[in-house]
Chain A
Amino acid sequence: MRPITEYLHSNLTPGESGDLLWIFVYVVVIFLGISLAVLLMNWLERKILAHMQIRLGPMRVGPHGLLQSIADALKLLIKEDVIPSQADKIVFWFAPIIVVMTAFTLFLVVPFGRTHAVTDMNIGILFMLGVSSLGVLGVIMGGWSSNSHYPLLGSLRSSAQMVSYEIAMGLAIVSAILMTSVASGTGTLSMIGIVESQYQQHRWFAFQFFPLGLVALLVFAVAMVAETNRAPFDLPEAESELVAGFMTEYSGFRWSLFFLAEYASMIAVSSIAVTLWLGGWLRPFPNALSGAGWDGAFSFVPALTFVGFGGLCIYSASRMPKVRGMKLQSGGLAAFGMLLGAIGLLMCAPALRARVQDVYWFVFKVSIFMYLYIWYRGTFPRYRFDQLMKVGWKVLLPIALAVLILTALVGVRQELFSVVAEAVR
């Protein structure tokens, strides 16, 4: 019991306090949470995309198709796992593992809250950039080892794309890192430090040095879509040209690993964007609306969200068609709504309320980015390869470079003025 209670009062991440038990617990919780989020994201993507195209999406498996992604996951796991006879078996076997490992390793430093990260690395953002660029290795390995044309072409496209967009992405990140030194004089690369410096500077970095922060966020938002190979930059797996790109020869469990990694890395880069520019786990207006009263009011928001979603479920269960075959489904939806409501009520407990808040705001901001991913996919047609390179090198890179230089100049304007004044005198 002691380690649990001791931890609940600590203000450090388990990695910092060297608490092995809690490190293990966090790793397991994050792994399960991300896997669950991927399942949910799969369902949401199909539903939202369908609604954008004036369709209904999955409706049959479970109420409103809620269990569709679970059914699909089960199907993938029991499917025959084919390895092409001409494939390089070892490389073929390793490729999905590398992709999944990199995607999940990223979450070691993602700060879901002040104490809700596995560890607080002092080079956190550098670690994330480095590990995320390892993912391209798995993609190339997968494409090459399949010994087939489409995967090879897909992985070649993918490597060119990921490498060229990483530069614009990195420059945008550097400009945000420069901003961490504004108030304190010394910057930080730690993910938790970055969020804390946003708290100290009383504004998110998206609004620091307006409009420089916002432009950097925009550059990052475009580059991160390209980096994760999502529409409209999904050339590596352009269905109409390359079947499924580097994943063409993969089936069953291995394919689902690629799938898992793609969504996990989407969540990871979204959480970089949230940490760097949108204040990470900070609730809206932590400085302007500070004090116990506002803290208490905001701490009820997570519980209210859950209760609201539960209410929505029960409402739509009551609106389902009154047919004999739908009885089980509407009952299930109502039960699910009640479960959500119960979780919401549980969250009103003071001890839980305080600890859940950080995670809630972080997940809320990340989910906005996840919605954007789906929204882009429903809206934009795919880029041609030369257009993709043009956007990366001729548009995003100069903008990111200009933002970086301007940020640096604005950051040291006091010193610059004094130097100029000295020289004039």
Chain B
Amino acid sequence: MKIPPLLRKLLLLDIIQGLSITFKHQRQADVITEQYPLERPEIAERYRGYPHLKVDPTTGETLCIGCGMCAAACPEKLIGVESERDPETKKKKMTAFQYDMSRCMFCGLCQEACPTDCLELTREYEIALYDRKGMQLNRERLESDPDRTEYLR
């Protein structure tokens, strides 16, 4: 049934309709807010978080070949790779790796550039720190699994 506009105005029908919508929204079941420290959020598989350098699980040696492609791909120039040529095998070997996470925007270009899939941005998301110094990641820090501290409260 169509109600004429004048009658709608006089009976405040539109106002009542608006009020009823907000009233219905008060159902607690509709709330989708995440209670973060109490509930762990679901992290997408391709989430780009804390950087990590992969290690070959069988030999324990790094997968990095020191090519420096990641450093070249980084738009912020925050990756520094030092390498030297092994005199015997004539292969390049990574000696030091610097990653400045304080300037990182987690674009993932380094991850895409890596030919050996060594550097990856993991699903670890709790990377807030009290100090900027902790943001300078060296090789040891990158190769170790990011130690996740369980949030207590």
- A binding-site residues for B, Cβ under 8 Å: 48, 51-56, 59, 321, 323-326, 375-376, 378-380
**Nearest opposing residue in chain B for A324, CB measure:** B152
Verify B23–A53 contact, CB threshold 8 A: no
Contact B38 A326 (CB under 8 A): yes
With contacts A51-B26, A59-B35, A325-B153 known, what are 18 further pairs, Cβ within 8 A?
A48-B26, A52-B22, A52-B26, A54-B31, A54-B32, A55-B33, A56-B35, A321-B35, A321-B38, A321-B39, A323-B38, A375-B19, A376-B19, A378-B22, A379-B18, A379-B19, A379-B21, A380-B15
B149 within 8 Å of A (CB atoms)? no
Listed by A's residue number, 11 A-B pairs whose Cβ atoms lie within 8 Å are: A51-B31, A52-B25, A54-B25, A54-B31, A54-B33, A55-B31, A55-B33, A324-B152, A375-B22, A379-B19, A379-B21
- Assess the A380–B28 pair: CB atoms within 8 A: no
CB of B30 closer than 8 Å to a CB of A: yes
Contact A56 B22 (CB under 8 A): no
B1-40 near A? 1/0 per residue, CB < 8 Å: 0000000000000010011011101101011110101110
Contact pattern, B 70-112, Cβ under 8 Å of A = 1, otherwise 0: 0000000000000000000000000000000000000000000
Asked, given contacts A54-B32, A326-B38, whether A380 binds B152 with beta carbons under 8 Å apart, the answer is no
The complex places the Cα of A248 from the Cα of B15 at a distance, in Å, of 31
Q: Which residues of B contact A54 (CB under 8 A)?
A: 25, 30-33
Q: Which residues of A contact B30 (CB under 8 A)?
A: 54
List of A residues within 8 angstroms of B19 by Cβ: 375-376, 379
Check A325/B26 contact, CB under 8 A, given A54-B31, A54-B32, A56-B33. Answer: no
Q: Which residues of B contact A379 (CB under 8 A)?
A: 18-19, 21-22
Report how far A351 CA is from B21 CA in the complex, Å.
44
Whether the Cβ atoms of B25 and A53 lie closer than 8 Å is yes
Whole-angstrom distance from the CB of A399 to the nearest CB of chain B?
11
- 6 closest A-B pairs by CB: A325-B153, A51-B26, A52-B22, A379-B22, A56-B33, A378-B22
CB distance from A373 to the nearest CB of B (A): 12
Contact A325 B152 (CB under 8 A): yes
Q: How far is the CA of A198 from the CA of B34 in the complex (A)?
A: 50
* Most A-side CB within 10 Å, residue of B22, B28, B39: B22
Contacts of A52 in B (CB 8 A): 22-23, 25-26
- Bound together, the chains give a CA A165 to CA B37 distance in angstroms of 48
Specify which chain B residues have a CB less than 8 angstroms from the CB of A376 in the assembled complex.
19
Query: What is the bound-complex CA distance between A380 and B35, given in angstroms?
Result: 29
Q: How far is the CA of A380 from the CA of B30 in the complex (A)?
A: 21
Min CB gap A284→B, angstroms:
23
Q: Which A residues touch B33, using CB under 8 A?
A: 54-56
Quick one: given A56-B33, A380-B18, are A51 and B25 in contact (CB under 8 Å)? Answer: yes
Q: Give the chain A neighbours of B153 by CB distance below 8 A.
A: 325
**A-chain residues with CB within 8 Å of residue B23 when the two chains form the complex:** 52, 375
B144 vs chain A, min Cβ distance (A): 28
Instruction: Give chain B residues whose Cβ lies under 8 Å from the Cβ of A380.
Output: 15, 18
Nearest opposing residue in chain A for B153, CB measure: A325
B23 to chain A, nearest CB (A): 7
Q: In the complex the two chains form, is B31's CB within 8 Å of A56's CB?
A: yes
CB distance from B105 to the nearest CB of A (A): 29
| Residues of B with C-beta under 8 A to A325 | 37-38, 152-153
Contact with A along B28-61 (1 / 0, CB 8 A): 1011110101110000000000000000000000
Residues of A within 8 A of B21 (CB): 379
Which residues of B lie under 8 Å from residue A56 when comparing CB positions? 31, 33, 35
Report A43 CB to chain B, min CB distance, Å. Answer: 15
> Judging by beta carbons under 8 Å apart, are B28 and A51 in contact?
yes
Chain B residues near A51: list those with CB within 8 A.
Answer: 25-26, 28, 31
The smallest beta-carbon distance between A293 and chain B, in angstroms, is 36
For A47, give the chain B residue with the smallest CB separation: B26
A378 to B21, CA, bound (A): 10
CA distance A55 to B28 in the complex (A): 9
**Complex alpha-carbon distance, A114 and B139, angstroms:** 80
Q: For B26, give the chain A residue with the smallest CB separation.
A: A51
- Whose C-beta in chain B lies nearest to the C-beta of A49? B22
Min CB distance A38 to B, Å, is 22
